[in-house]
Structure 1
Amino acid sequence: MRFSTLKDIVEICQVESLTIAELMIAEQAKETGESPEEIVNQMTAYYQVMKEAVSKGLESNTSSRSGLVGGDGRKVNELITSFEPSVGVWAAKAMAYALAVSEVNASMGRIVATPTAGSCGIIPGVFVSAQERFGWEDEKLVHGLFSSGAIGYVIANNSFISGAEGGCQAEVGSAIGMAAGALVELRGGTPEQAVHAVGLALKNTLGLICDPVAGLVEVPCIVRNGLGAVNALAAADMALAGVRSVIPSDEVIGVMLEVGSKMPGEHRETALGGLAQTPTGRKLTEQIKATKSPS
C-alpha cells in the first residue's frame, strides 16, 4: 500500500483528488493483481452477508447456546415503533441492527468480521441503517466498506484490532473508528474530516478492556456493539460539523498501542478480570461449565 498512516491517506487523496474508497480500491488492485471490478464484486458479496445478518438477527431466534443472549436487537427495533427513543429513531435503528448482527454471531450464524467477530455488528449497524435512512444504493455502501477498510488497515498495522492483544478498545474501538470515518465520506465529507472522525471515535474508547463472561463473545460484547454504533454516528456528526481531533488521529492510534501494551492480561480476552470476574460473572461461568459437562 502507498499509505501507512491516516495522514498519508489524506495527503494522497488531496493531491490526486480521490476519495478514500477510490484510493483503497486502486491499492488493493495493485496488491492482489485483481481488477478493480473483481475487488468491488467481492466486497459487494460481503455487504450482502452483512445485510442478511441484520435481517436474520431481527427476524429469527438468535439465542446463543449458552443462553446468555438473544433477541435484544429485535427488542430495540420493536421499541422504535411504540416509543420515541431517547437517541432518536435512526440512532436506535443503528443500535438495533448492530445488536442483531452480533447476536447472529453468538448464535453461530454467518457474519463478516469487521474488523473482528467480536465487533461484527458496528459497521453493518451503521451502514444498513444509513442506507435505509438516505435511500442509498448498495454500490455506495460497498464503496464505504473500502473506506472503512483503509482505516482498519492503518489501525491494524500501527496498533491492534484484536482484543487478546489490546483489549476491547482494539476491537470495538477500531470498528467505531472505521464506521465513523466511512460514514463521513458516505455523507459527502472530505478525507480530512473522515480522519478526524476516526480520532474522535478512538480517543473515547481508549482503555476499554476485553472481559467476556465465560470467555464467550456475548457479555458484554454484544451490548458494546450496539452502543458502539451510536458512538460512530456521533463521531461522524462531530467531524462533519467541523469538530477536529486536537490530538492527530495517527497519534491517537499510537496511544491505543501504548495503552493496550500496558493493559493487564486479565483484561485482554482471558475472562480473568473485569465483568467476567464479578460475582454474577463467575456464577454464570460455572453454570455454563456445568451444562457442558457430561452427565
Structure 2
Amino acid sequence: MNIKNGKELLKRCSENNMTIGEFILQQEMEESGASREEIYNRMVENLRVMEYSTSKGVNEKVISVSGLIGGDAYRLGKYLKNGKSVSGNVMVKAMSYALSCSEVNASMGKIVACPTAGANGILPAVMMTMKEEHDIEEHDLIMGLFASAGVGAIIAQNATISGAEGGCQAECGSAAAMAAAAVVEMMGGTPEMCLNAGAIVFKNTLGLVCDPIAGLVEVPCAKRNASGAVSAITAADMVLAGVTSRIPFDDTVAAMYSIGKSMPEALRETGIGGLAGTKTGKKLKKEIFGSKNEKSSNKMNDDTFDAPDQE
C-alpha cells in the first residue's frame, strides 16, 4: 500500500473526499491492476467465510482437535436466547461469534485470518453483530472490511501483527483496532474518527502477552477474541459519542511495537511463559502431547521462565 501511516491516510482521504474503505479499494485497484468488481467480489467471498465461521459454533458444538476448547460459542448462543444477559444482546452476540470462529479454526475449519488466524474471530464477530443488530447492508459491510484492511495494512507496515514478534497486543489488539475502525465507518463516522477508535483499542490492549497453552491457538486465545470484539465495539461507541484519543493512532502503533520488542521471548507465542508456564498450563500440555514432549521442553522452561505454581 502506498500509504506510510495513519496521518498520510487521513490526508489522502481528505484530499479525495473519500472514506477509508473507498480509498483502500481504489488503492488496491491501482496496485493490483484488477477491476473494482474483481476486488469487491473477493471481499464478498471473505464475508461469506466470516458468516460461516461466526455461525457454525453457535448453532452446534464445535470441539477443537486437542479438546482444549469447544462448545462455548454454543453455550453463549443458548444464554443469549434466555434474554437475561448482563451486557445485552450486542455484546453477548459478539462474544459468541468470536468464540465460534476460534473454535472453527481450532477444529481445522475454514476461517479468514484477519489479520491472523489467532485473532480471526474479532473482526467477523463484530461485522456479523453489526449486520444483525443494526441492519447494516451488505455493501456497507464490504466497505467496512476494506476500511479494516487499510488499518491493518498500516499496522503491519509500521509495527507487526505477529504474536511471536509483538505479543497478543499485536494480534488481538490489531484485529480489534481494525474492527473498531470498520464499525465507525459503517455508522457514518469520519476517517479521523475511525483511527481514533483504533487508537483507543490499542491504548487498552498494550502489553497483552501471547502465552498459548501447549503452543496451541486455543487457550487463552479464544476468550481473548471474545474480549477483543467487545473492546472494538466499546471503542467505536466512545468515538461515535464524540470521544477522541489524545494519543494519535500512529503513536499507539509505535508504542505497541516498542512494547512488543521489549517483551521476553517467553511471552511471545512460545508457549513457555504467562499462563502457559503455570502449573495448570504445564499439566494441560503434558496431557495433550505426553511426557516425551514435556521432557524435551523442560530445560527451556526452566531457563526461560519460572512461573509460580497455582493450586
Shorter-chain TM band: over 0.9
**Could you tell me how far 1:242 is from its partner in structure 2?**
1.3
- The alpha carbon displacement at 1:291 in A equals 9.4
Alpha carbons of structure 1 residues 291 and 39: separation in structure 2 relative to 1, 3 Å: farther
The runs of 5 or more residues in structure 1 that have no matched partner are none
Matched residue, 2:161: 161
Secondary structure of residue in 2 paired with 1:148: helix
Q: Which moved further from structure 2: 111-120 or 50-59?
A: 50-59
**Letter in structure 1 aligned against 2:9:** I
Q: Report the equivalent of 1:152.
A: 152
SS at match of 1:203: helix
Which runs of structure 2 are paired with 1:1-295 in the superposition (5 Å)? Answer: 1-290=1-290
Q: Is the 8 A contact 1:119 1:172 kept in 2?
A: yes
Letter in 2 for 1:113: A
Is the Cα contact below 8 Å between 1:201 and 1:235 reproduced in 2? yes
Alpha-carbon distance in structure 2 between the residues aligned to 1:244 and 1:110: 37
8 Å Cα contact 1:62-1:106 kept in structure 2: no
Q: CA deviation at 1:83?
A: 4.1
User: Aligned in 2, Cα 1:18/1:292: closer, same or farther, shift over 3 Å?
Assistant: farther
Give a deviation string over 1:137-181, Cα, whole Å, max 9, x none: 222111111000000000000011000010000000000000001
Contact 2:136 2:186 in 1 (8 A): no
How far apart in 2 are the matches of 1:245 and 1:59? Answer: 38
Moved more, 7-16 or 102-111: 7-16
Q: What residue number does 2:309 align with?
A: none
* 1:95-116 alpha-carbon deviations (Å, 9 max, x no partner): 1101111110011100000000
Residues 97, 124 of structure 2: 8 Å contact kept: yes
For residue 15 of structure 1, report the CA deviation from its aligned partner.
Answer: 1.9
Query: What is the distance in 2 between the residues matched to 1:211 and 1:128?
Result: 28
Distance 1:83 1:238 in 2: 25
SS in 1 for 2:10: helix
Contact 1:44 1:139 in 2 (8 A): no
2:129 partner letter: S
Deviates more, 1:117-126 or 1:60-69: 60-69
Report deviation, 1:136: 2.1
1:22, distance to aligned residue in structure 2 (A):
0.5
Greater displacement, 251-260 / 137-146:
137-146
- Cα deviation, 1:245-284, whole Å, max 9, x if unaligned, reads 1011101100011000100000000011000011000000
Of all paired residues, the percent bearing the same amino acid is 48
Q: Deviations along 1:19-54, whole A, 9 cap, x unmatched? A: 001000000111111011110001100110010111
What is the root-mean-square deviation in Å for CA atoms of aligned residues?
1.3
Deviation of the 1:61 alpha carbon: 3.3
